[in-house]
Amino acid sequence: MADAHVALISDTHVPSRAEGIPEWVKDRIRDADHTIHAGDFDSEDAYGTISTLADGDLTAVQGNTDPPSLDLPEVATVEIGDTTFVVTHGTGSQEGYRERVAEVVKGAVEGPVLGVSGHTHEVMNGDFAGVHLLNPGSATGATPAERATMMSVEIERGQLRVEVHEG
């Protein structure tokens, strides 16, 4: 049994690019101990849906298409099962994206962390500039994504297992 099960999602873009959150994504959010959303909910309704599905166990950041009324931070840090996650959307040009995100993550806290970002709608799971970066892609398959994706992180006795899920 895992110490913690974390759902990672981003770039839902409801309603501008998608009608709603896919049922399989909703199920994974409900089953998680905590959900991290790396920005671009796109509306207060989408934020409310995800917050309800996560039963309030939600860490979220502001994306470049989120309404200011959401009042979300640009960077959020959360510790789950002895693992520190630093979350940022990654707003800006595709050029230099990984460098920009890695710098934000390194500047947020001391010590080992997992960086979580969105914005590109492309799945990413790897080390860059001394930081492990995760991007779950778009949970709704919003353009320019070719399919709906999300990630889960299982934390057990300090060990991490990252899995990509596609719909």
3-state secondary structure of 8: strand
3-state secondary structure of 28: helix
Distances (CA, A) of 86 to 61, 74, 148: 10, 11, 23
| Burial environment of residue 3 by CB neighbours within 10 A (0 to 12, 13 to 18, 19 or more) | middle
Beta-strand runs (E) in 38-118:
58-60, 75-80, 83-88, 114-116
Q: What is the pLDDT along the chain (167 residues), one digit of tens a residue?
A: 578 999 999 999 999 999 999 999 999 999 999 999 999 999 999 999 999 999 999 999 999 999 999 999 999 999 998 899 999 999 999 999 999 999 999 999 887 889 999 999 999 999 999 899 999 999 999 999 999 999 999 999 878 999 999 98
> How much is the pLDDT for 52?
98
Cα of 92 vs its chain's centroid, Å: 17
Beta-strand runs (E) in 14-158:
34-37, 58-60, 75-80, 83-88, 114-116, 123-128, 131-136, 149-156
Token pair, residue 55, equals 């039963």
Q: Give the span between the Cα atoms of 95 and 60, in whole angstroms.
A: 24
Q: What is the CATH number of domain 4-166?
A: 3.60.21.10
> How much is the pLDDT for 105?
95
Question: If you compute the radius of gyration of the chain from its CA atoms, what whole number of angstroms results?
Answer: 14
> How much is the pLDDT for 81?
85
Token pair, residue 71, equals 């009042």
pTM tops 0.85: yes
> How much is the pLDDT for 10?
98
> How much is the pLDDT for 1?
59
| Burial environment of residue 28 by CB neighbours within 10 A (0 to 12, 13 to 18, 19 or more) | buried
